[in-house]
Chains A and B, each alone.
Chain A
Amino acid sequence: MSRTLTIKDIPREERFAPGHRMCQGCGAAILMRHITKAMPKDAIIVQATGCVEVTTTLYPETSWMHPWLHIAFENAAAGASGVEAALKVLKRKGVLPPEKDVRVVAIGGDGGTFDIGIQALSGLLERGHDVLYIVYDNEAYMNTGIQRSGATPFGAWTTTTPVGRVWHGEWRNKKDIIGIALAHRVPYVATINPAYIPDLYMKINKAMEIKGPKLIHAYSPCVPGWRYEPALTVTVARMAVQTGIWINYEVENNTLNVTTPVPKRKPVREYLRLHGRFRHLTDEEIEKIQEFVDKQVAYVNKLAGKEVIGPVEK
């Protein structure tokens, strides 16, 4: 296993230019800044339509210092498959230098990945393209104005799961994108979180060295969609890990490794109370979410083979 990275290992050179139109406190902005630093400089990015795409490429400006392609909403995985296939054959035919290993990274939001892009993603994973797919998950269609997606968690208010006399926010659980990726028997999947930057570097670096399809699921706090103060992005992200509603881990060669152990969990209520989107929840609903988190923690501990995530601190 590689040496644990620290904040000192982070390259100084910025590869994600400022001046973009992302919100103050945007979690995805932190993610993109560090993902582009962690990636090789000559990697090619294929991006799905979404918040990040529209806020970073307003012609004639761009935040991207990597070669970057956007086609549409549902097809970042298909576009990346095409780029990867082209690089392979052009190298073989001597058009591109054979010694140069240009890496391909696809980036999409939860809507572009869990929902409308799931078919193209499945195709990419199943065909075995040498592509790292990163989904930044802000748990709803934020770019179009906070509509629920397949990644919206139970209880969350969104503009299409509003809180009223009959409805009380989202009533279904979040789709298991990691489980879907693992069902394709891919060599590497991982989760990252903007409050744990060295962990992010370790995982992007590792993914870049592994051949074949990889999926990284990134926790991406959203100020306007989750309804919290812009200064709290990292607090919210850290609290997600401390309560176990988000777990930083990786699955390599069928082995699950929790990269941020949490010996004692905080109650999920402390996470939920930071978000305006959960303000309406009743004690019963919060209890239901706590049970869901407990189950998920037990499942991950079982796969890890030890209690890496501890019990809730009373």
Chain B
Amino acid sequence: MGKVVPLSGNTAVAYAVKSADVDVISAYPITPQTTIVEKLAEFIANGELDAEMIHVESEHSALSAAVGASAAGARVYTASSSQGIALMYEIMFISSSLRLPIVMTIAARALSAPINIWNDHSDFMAVSDTGWVMMMAENNQEAHDDVIIAYRIAEDPEVLLPVVTALDGYFMTHTIEPITVVEREEALDYIPKKRTWYSLDPARPITMGALGDPQWYFEFKRQQYEAMKKSREAFNTSVEEFSRRFGRRYDAVELYGDDNPDILIVAMGHVVGNLRAYLDRVRGRGVKAGVLKVKLYRPFPEDLILKHLQGVEMIGVIDRALVPGSTSAGPLYGDIVTTLAKHGFEARAVSFITGLGGRPVTHSHIETVLSKLVDLKGKPVRELPKEPLFIGVRE
């Protein structure tokens, strides 16, 4: 078992990448991702990690070079944020369709304009339809562990998909917490380097990235859908095995608070920690409330969402991203409502948009959310607000 050391979220991520013994790191600087790659450069410079670092000239090339390296059989890592993720967008689709097990960390940050280097989930949500498996951590330990778990899922021969591990910019990337580091030997025992995917091998030449016309394109996409479905099972076995080996248990979603809550707040990322603390404070004051943390965002864990949300009187969904004009301006809210509706349950859910562009989600904001949910508790679904409620903004 590794020792406990104080590490920022980004440094914790870098240590995990080192323990995974990645072969190629291809990245371009962007705040707040930078310190991950700086730390990795330091590891290589000091001989602590044997990897090639490609100092690319853009995020587009960062992911393109990662695709090339992964196609050549290397274990590959990249990381970015915000505009960098937006610039990678094109290649994100291609990496998942080429079925390459790249792992990328998103240090979550708002998208321009106005330009803003602070945290929300705009970048993460903007790429949620690119065919990547996507996880988001609540604390630095989880951000560290997620990288190790991600390689296990990505390289599973039944899956072979790229994986995003996300952590909140600044609130986590630049905040120091005590971390138990997964050491290289134990990491590589959990994620042995088996090169499970097709690669560019002169002994067995293959054509990768062929033209798929109407006769074949659809079949490629159908298989990709199946791979994403299988990643759900791979996630389960990976976190189970992780917990057996390392003692830390994760799940696709996690319930905290009252066992049988009347009110449930669904959220992702570091805000879950604030919610836990707030619920601890108000426990025993008559409100049976809980928080449902969503860790695995793609594939969306419908089974567990349903298990926890069915029968709950009032659901509040906190989104830290905004999609103007959508039927669900809060993307997570949209996933929750769809899940409930498609399984025949009333969507007793209200959308809350908060904490955009790095504005902290404070206990007073959470108090507003909770009191709103208490007020709405008895109302029929048709009377629930159909527009998102904006919390903590000047109107």
Between-chain CB contacts (< 8 Å), 16 pairs = A44-B202, A53-B211, A58-B211, A68-B207, A69-B208, A70-B210, A71-B67, A77-B61, A82-B68, A83-B69, A86-B76, A95-B193, A120-B58, A120-B64, A123-B58, A127-B55
Given A41-B202, A123-B58, list of 14 further CB < 8 A pairs?
Answer: A71-B67, A71-B91, A77-B61, A81-B56, A82-B69, A83-B71, A85-B24, A85-B52, A86-B70, A89-B52, A90-B74, A95-B193, A119-B61, A120-B60
Instruction: Say if the beta carbon of A115 comes within 8 Å of chain B.
Output: no
Residue of A nearest to B65 (CB): A82
Q: How large is the interface on A (under 10, 10 to 19, 20 to 34, 35 or more residues)?
A: 35 or more
The 8 A CB mask of A33-60 against B (1 = contact, 0 = none) is: 0000000011110100000011001111
Nearest CB on A from B210, distance (A) = 4
Asked if A78 and B68 make an inter-chain contact with CB atoms under 8 angstroms apart, the answer reads yes
Asked if B210 and A78 make an inter-chain contact with CB atoms under 8 angstroms apart, the answer reads no
Residues of B within 8 A of A75 (CB): 60-61, 64, 91
Instruction: Say if the beta carbon of A10 comes within 8 Å of chain B.
Output: no
Nearest CB on B from A78, distance (A) = 4
Residues of B within 8 A of A81 (CB): 26, 54, 56, 61, 65, 68
Q: Take A59-B216, A95-B73 as given contacts and tell me if A79 and B64 are in contact as well, using a CB distance cutoff of 8 Å.
A: yes
Asked if B90 and A72 make an inter-chain contact with CB atoms under 8 angstroms apart, the answer reads yes
Nearest CB on B from A236, distance (A) = 28
Q: Take A67-B202, A83-B200, A123-B56 as given contacts and tell me if A62 and B207 are in contact as well, using a CB distance cutoff of 8 Å.
A: yes
Instruction: Say if the beta carbon of B375 comes within 8 Å of chain A.
Output: no
Residues of B within 8 A of A83 (CB): 68-69, 71-72, 200
Instruction: Say if the beta carbon of B51 comes within 8 Å of chain A.
Output: yes
Asked if A68 and B208 make an inter-chain contact with CB atoms under 8 angstroms apart, the answer reads yes
Asked if B68 and A90 make an inter-chain contact with CB atoms under 8 angstroms apart, the answer reads no
Asked if B74 and A89 make an inter-chain contact with CB atoms under 8 angstroms apart, the answer reads yes
Instruction: Say if the beta carbon of A280 comes within 8 Å of chain B.
Output: no
Residues of A within 8 A of B73 (CB): 86, 90, 95
Residues of A within 8 A of B57 (CB): 119-120, 122-123, 126
Asked if A69 and B94 make an inter-chain contact with CB atoms under 8 angstroms apart, the answer reads no
Instruction: Say if the beta carbon of B284 comes within 8 Å of chain A.
Output: no
Asked if A90 and B211 make an inter-chain contact with CB atoms under 8 angstroms apart, the answer reads no
Instruction: Say if the beta carbon of B378 comes within 8 Å of chain A.
Output: no
The 8 A CB mask of A128-159 against B (1 = contact, 0 = none) is: 00000000000000000000000000000000
Asked if B23 and A86 make an inter-chain contact with CB atoms under 8 angstroms apart, the answer reads yes
Nearest CB on A from B233, distance (A) = 28
Residues of B within 8 A of A42 (CB): 202-203
